[in-house]
Amino acid sequence: MALSRPGFSVYLTIGFPEPARFPQALEALEACVDFYELGLPTARPKYDGPTVRASHRRVVARGLRGLEALRLLERTSVGKPFTLMAYMEDYAGSLRGLMEAAASAGAGCVLLPDLAFDYPGELDRYVEESERAGLRPCFFASSRFPHAWLQRYAALDPLYIYLGLQPATGVELPIAVEKNVRLARRLVGDRYLLTGFAIRHPEAAAALIRAGADAVVVGSAVLRALEEGGVEEARGLACSIHRAVHSAARGAA
């Protein structure tokens, strides 16, 4: 699986806003994304912000969680590359099964945002099980990560390194995000740098591309648009950010 540079990704919790409507959401967004990040529903999305947490609760309340969600993907035509997001807490005892299921579903990698925070000793096992299943690893880092961790990630040939720009998804604080992107770029070299958290509008996404990010992922804003305005509103938002990302990259070339 190769990711385009520049790239624009949308995060969706699998099964949101309703399992029956999820395929429609994917289809509506397809023309305006380069790849998807799809979350496996969990009862404890501990490092997500309020909007993403609510999407997990809603899907789980309807009886869909964990690897069961991949059966919904099997019945859905996913027209763009995708990666999965899950929590190591849910799969620490079944990591091999997670990776095998992800590979069978067609994912490029499985992002575990709690891996470095709560399970740092499992990093090597995660890489081994990813590679055993034919996947590449991908890693989450916050702007407060030690520089050595980012450099370690870069040495492990990841599909991408996801730099979280804020403390949680959808929660915006006065942080110098563009400065952090430039620093991360120096640390990871030419590795694929994906940026996200609290990106709500095209101008913010374009600024991150100009600062050195390869791609931007938007989740909370798209989930809110789906909830409040339906697929057309979500598509309009996604398309506007997609255009801004690609325009910014052309301007920086």
* Coil, helix or strand at residue 26: helix
Q: Among 247, 174, 239, 157, which Cα is nearest to 209's?
A: 247
Q: Please indicate whether residue 48 is annotated as part of the active site.
A: yes
Residue 106 resides in a domain: yes
Over 60: is that where the pLDDT of 172 sits?
no
Mean pLDDT confidence for 155-159: 98
pLDDT in tens, 135-153: 999 999 987 888 999 999 9
Q: Among 203, 193, 192, which Cα is nearest to 165's?
A: 193
Q: Which of 18, 27, 30, 37 is catalytic?
A: 37
Among 17-26, 76-85, 162-171, whose mean pLDDT is lowest? 162-171
CATH, residue 115: 3.20.20.70
pLDDT at 204: 92
pLDDT at 108: 98
Cα(125)–Cα(133) distance, integer angstroms: 12
Evaluated on CA atoms 214, 162, 2, 155, the torsion sign reads: positive
Residue 26 resides in a domain: yes
Residue 206 resides in a domain: yes
Q: Please indicate whether residue 114 is annotated as part of the active site.
A: no
Residue 195 resides in a domain: yes
Residue 84 resides in a domain: yes
Place 174 in a pLDDT band, splitting at 50, 70 and 90.
Answer: very low
Residue 2 resides in a domain: no
Question: Is this structure's pTM higher than 0.85?
Answer: yes
**Residue corresponding to tokens 């991949």:** 70
DSSP 126-158: HHHHHHHTTPPP-EEEETTS-HHHHHHHHHT--
Using an 8 Å Cβ cutoff, are 241 and 208 in contact? no
Over 60: is that where the pLDDT of 31 sits?
yes
Q: Which of 18, 27, 30, 48 is catalytic?
A: 48
Distances (CA, A) of 169 to 46, 57, 110, 194, 210: 11, 15, 18, 14, 21
Residue 205 resides in a domain: yes
Cα(212)–Cα(84) distance, integer angstroms: 24
Q: Among 131, 133, 188, 182, which Cα is nearest to 160's?
A: 188
Residue 1 resides in a domain: no
In the chain, how many domains are there?
1
| Bond before 6 cis per omega within 30 degrees | yes
Structure tokens at 150: 């980012």
Over 90: is that where the pLDDT of 167 sits?
no
pLDDT at 33: 98
Domain, as residue range, for 183: 7-252
pLDDT at 175: 53
Cα(26)–Cα(22) distance, integer angstroms: 6
pLDDT at 165: 82
